[in-house]
Structure formats: structure tokens, C-alpha cells
Amino acid sequence: MEALVDRQLRGQGTEEAEWLGWPAWKAVAGVDAARLVPEGHRAVMVAPHPDDEVLAVGGLLSCCAALGREVAMVAVTDGTASHPRSSEWPPERLAKERPLESSRAWRCLGLGDSQAIRLGIPDGGVAGEAARLAARLGEIFTPRDVVFTTWRLDGHPDHEATAKASIEAAARCGARLVEVPVWGWHWARPAEPHWPWSRMRRVALDADTVRRKRQAVACFASQLQPDRSTGAPPILLDSTVARAARDFEVVFA
């Protein structure tokens, strides 16, 4: 069934207005940070690339920090393959800048004291390192963790491989796992049959948290500017930035 899904990332993808106009939102159950990450538990975000943690659940993690929950960030890759053939953003520069962008974004969200773990797996090569990634995550996760990661059918190979490794590692140690669509919004349409609608939960964000998240997204300058050396457009599309400005986030819990 999964193999039949066309998850190609083309153009700007499904417009945000189409998603926001979907009438079935009223039937999506709500959940808040306190319920998702109960007292005494740790929130662990496993991000395939720097910026995925903010795009996925930046607001939710900010709420966790405000509640006094422990938060840990796991960066699977350093995002060094985002600008192929670029002289403006070669891999060496990206390897230094992208982690700094994440750190700035975390401060915007009140996550400056979060534990940061960088695994250094090659950007674009997570699937080939899936076994090593699952083993490494197994050393990080504990039974008291609530693990957030990208959805297993998200549409980007690194995202899907990260999800599968996280699922395996969480199951081994008894951690709870929550998947989050990032690129899934791009290729799918409302009522997409392959989405796990029964597990969808909506996390409302207040105005201050939305403001913080917008500021955090703006920290990823390398991904928001056109590449002058190749003429390539920004990596983060207008549609992606628009989704990050919502007053809610969605998780598959």
C-alpha cells in the first residue's frame, strides 16, 4: 500500500488555503503539551535536518519548556547537502552555519538550555545508515521519553528513514513515539487516504508561541534566501513558511 503513494515533492505543493479550508478540522481532537509530555517525562525531538525540529513541533517544544519539562534535540544530520553545486553555501560552510541557525531558533523558543545531540550522519544518506541510527538512538532514548520525529511517509527519504529508526529504537526501550508531518503537507491533499487520520491530534498555540515560532523559522537564513551562485530558489518554500505560521501544530499520537 505504501509503495503506491506518490510522495514526490514538486513545486509549492498543496496550498495552505486548501488545508486551512478543510472542514474536517472540526473533528480533529485537541491535545496540549502537558498531556503529550506528562510531568516527569522528557521530550526528545529527532530531526533529520536542522530546521525540521522547529517546522514540526517548535511551538509544542516551546510549551514543554515553559512547563518545566526537560527537552533534548537530536540532529541526525547537519544538513550539508541542502545546496548542491553551490559556491555560496558549500558543505563546509553549511556544516558550521546550520547548527548555529538551530541554536538561534531554540533561543527564540525558550529552548536555549535544551540538550543538543548531533549524530553527524550524512545528509541525504540516512537510509543507508538506518541500522546505525537506530542503535545510536537506542543509546539516547529512555522509557520516560516522549519521542517526536518526522512521519514515516513524510515524502523525503531522510525523514522517512529517521522515522523508521526512531520507531525501532523507541519500541526497544519502551519510549512513547509521536510522528509529525513536515513534507507530508506538501504532497498530500486534505482527506489523503494514506494519512493516519485516527491518530491525528491538533495542538493549539497561543499568540506569543506563534510569534516565537515565526522568529525561530526566520533564523534559518541559509534556507530562506535564494542561492546567488546557482540561481536556485530558497530551500524553505513559501508554502512551508506559511504552514509554520499556523496557530496550531499537528501530531500523529
Give the Cα separation of 98 and 19 in Å (integer). Answer: 29
Residue 2's pLDDT band, with cuts at 50, 70 and 90, is very low
**Res. 51: pLDDT tops 80:** yes
Q: Residue 108: inside a domain, yes or no?
A: yes
On whether residue 112 sits in a domain, the answer given is yes
Say if 24 falls within a structural domain.
no
Beta partners for 149? 46, 179
Give the domain extent around 241. 30-184+196-252
pTM (2 d.p.)? 0.94
- Whether residue 155 is contained in a domain is answered as yes
CATH of residue 177's domain is 3.40.50.10320
Cβ atoms 163, 130 nearer than 8 A: no
- Count of the separate structural domains present in the chain: 1
Residue 44, C-beta contacts closer than 8 angstroms, at least 6 positions apart: 71, 72, 73, 74, 140, 141, 145, 146, 147, 148, 175
Whether 3 is in a domain gets the answer no
Binning pLDDT at 50, 70 and 90, where does residue 193 land? Answer: confident
Please check whether residue 59 lies inside any domain of the structure: yes
Containing 118, the helix (H) or strand (E) segment is strand 115-118
Q: How far is the CA of 210 from the CAs of 20, 182, 217, 223, in angstroms?
A: 16, 17, 11, 20
Whether 16 maps to a domain, the answer reads no
Query: Do 113 and 121 touch, CB atoms closer than 8 A?
Result: no
Name the residue among 66, 72, 95, 73 with its Cα closest to residue 205. Answer: 66
Q: What is the pLDDT of residues 119-159, one digit of tens each?
A: 999 999 999 999 999 999 999 999 999 999 999 999 999 99
**Residue 8 is assigned to a structural domain of this protein:** no
